[in-house]
Amino acid sequence: MKTILVTGGTGLVGSAIRQVISEELTDVEIIKDYRCIFLSSKDGNLIIREDVKRIFEIYKPTYVIHLAASVGGLYKNLNNNLKMYLDNLKINQNILYFCDKYKVKKIVSCLSTCVFPNKVKYPINESMLHEGLPHSSNEGYAFAKRMLEVESRLYNNVSETKYICIIPTNVYGPNDNYSLNDGHVIPSLIHRCYLAKENGNDFVVYGSGKPLRQFIYSIDLGKLILLILDKYDDREGIILASNKEYSIKEISELICINFNYSNIVFDRSKSDGQYKKTASNEKLLKLYPEFKFTSLEEGLKETISWFIKEYPNIRR
C-alpha cells in the first residue's frame, strides 16, 4: 500500500493527525488510499543521515508530513540558540535530501510564526518571511526553519515536486510537552497552574502577561495539514491561524478558570520575548472559507481535561 510518512508522529501535531484519522474527523480523500506511518524517536535519530536513509528505504513514502524538530518554549530557545539551529538544520536537510532521492511527490513541512521578522508591519503575511531578522530570543530555531523554506523552494525550482511549508501559529492540545521550563506557553502554564493548586502556592506566570499570541488547537491543525496534503496545489507557503489574539494574562486567567484557581502572580523579572506576532489568515480563508476553528475556551477545556486524566504519563 502507498505510504504517507509522518515525522514527529508521536508528538503534539502527529498525535492530532492520528486522532483525526482514527476518529474520522475529516473526509479528505487521500487517507482512504494511503497508510500513514507515524515515526517516533525509536525509529531513528533524524539528525543522523544513515538513520534517515534506513527509514526511507523501509517505507519508500509517496508523501511526507514533516513535523519533527528540536523545539521548546521561550526559555529553552534563549538558552540553546546554537544547538537549536544546528540540530534543526541537520534534521531538515536529511529529510529533504531523501525525499528528493526517493522521489516523494509532496512534502508538507511545518514552520512557526517565530520565523517572521521581529520588526515588521502587522498583520504578517506569507511574503514577509525574509524581510528582516527574527527576534533574538529564538533566532537559532527561527533561522533553521527559514532555511527549511529556502531549501524547499530550491528543490521546487529544479523538479516537479511540491515541497510546501505551512506556518501555524502557537499550537496547543493533548500530547504536548508540558515541561515547566522547556515547554511552549500554554502547556507550561497548564502544568504550572496544576502544581500551584496542588501545593497551595501562587500560580507564577513569567513576564508581564502583556504579550499577544494567536493559537491553533492541535486537532484543527491536524485537519488542515491533511486538507493541504490532499487539496493544496500551490508551492508557496501558507499561514495557518485563527483570527483572534490573546494576551498571556488572558490565557492564564482562562487556565485558572478550568482549574478553579485564582492566585496569579506575574514575575516581571522574566523576559516577555516578542510582544506580538500577528499573522494574517487571509490566504487560508480564501482557500477554505468553510473551515471552523475550535475556540480557545473549548480547546483549553479539552486539553486540561486530557492533562488531568493523563498527568502521571505526560511528557514533562
Catalytic residue numbers, as ranges = 141
Dihedral sign, Cα of residue 120, residue 123, residue 168, residue 182: positive
Burial label, 183 (beta-carbon count in 10 A; 0-12, 13-18, 19+): buried
Cα atoms in the Cβ-side hemisphere of radius 13 Å centred on 199: 10
Number of other CB atoms surrounding residue 289 within 10 Å:
7
Helix axes 81-101, 139-157, angle to 10 degrees: 20
DSSP sequence for 64-123: EEE-------HHHHHH-HHHHHHHHHHHHHHHHHHHHHTT-SEEEEE--GGGS-SS--SS
The three cell numbers locating residue 305 = 481535561
Cis peptide before 123 (omega within 30 of 0): yes
Contact yes or no for 139/133 (Cβ under 8 A): yes
Query: From the CA atom positions of the chain, what is the Rg in Å?
Result: 19
Nearest to 252 by CA among 191, 174, 176: 191
CA–CA distance from 257 to each of 19, 34, 245, 298 (Å)? 27, 42, 19, 12
